[in-house]
Amino acid sequence: MYVRSNIPGPNLEQKSFEDQFSGCDCQPPGSGCNSTTCSCMRRFGAAYDEKHRLVDIDPYSDAMRPVYECNGACTCGNDCANRVVQHEVACDLAVFRTPSKGFGVRTLQAVLRGSFVCEYAGEVLTREEACRRATNLTDADCNYILALREHVTADGKDHVITTYVDPMYIGNVGRFVNHSCSPNLFMVPVRVNNDVPHLGLFAIDDIAAGTELCFDYSGVVQRPDAKATNDHITVHVAPTHRKPCHCGSTTCRQFLPFDETLYDN
């Protein structure tokens, strides 16, 4: 089933998807917002420029600021510069059959650095449901479960917030975006109406039309001149149980990233 954005999965509290954030009161109603007057944009600074592209691009770095967009309670219009990921797919995409990776997604138009491409959307799962689904997969099954881990500081303590998203049965075009050890997209958690993140995929650099789109499933971005490494992946299962990587990158790590925590019950 196709969905525009994340939906609650089995046993997940529905109230987490209810509107929680107050909106800006930018005037006149229906106009765009700016970083000096908009309360949403002042929270962490403007995330996007006037062309709706990310201002800061430092993939998976502590320097990346949280992204909060204007929401349903705001007075601004849909064309506000602080409304990007909530507009779903931002460019012309095509799902196609790859030689060795099953289906993939390519862009039919040039994509500029920092531009939003699409959301990785599906069912938001509890940890218990995510583990149940992962352990029931066979070697022939594709595992679409993504575990987003965000490190936050509250009350003087560091906390890790994990969000599990599974588009296997209910999702959007993002489920067909393949892994690459040298990706051209990276994922940014974006909040709109509540604390449930939208998993936005943005361009790391300019992307030519006709290029396959990929992001690194492990949450790491290696530049083409980086040395191939597996150091950031911890695996407690035999390599024969892992799926080989066919990304073709010179920095290929040979196997797809593996999240062992989904198998710790």
**Secondary structure letter of residue 2 according to DSSP:** B
- Of 87-96, 181-190, 225-234, which gets the smallest average pLDDT? 225-234
* Residue 222 backbone class (left: φ over 0; alpha: ψ -120 to 50; beta: rest): beta
Is the pLDDT score of 230 beyond 50?
A: no
Read off the pLDDT band of 221 (50, 70, 90).
Answer: low
The whole-number pLDDT of residue 62 equals 64
Is the pLDDT score of 225 beyond 70?
A: no
Is the pLDDT score of 179 beyond 60?
A: yes
**Residue written as token pair 């593996």:** 258
Q: Give the domains, in start order, of the chain with CATH numbers.
A: 7-263 (2.170.270.10)
Q: Average model confidence (pLDDT) for the chain?
A: 86
Question: Which tens digits make up the pLDDT trace of 119-151?
Answer: 999 999 999 999 999 989 887 888 899 999 888
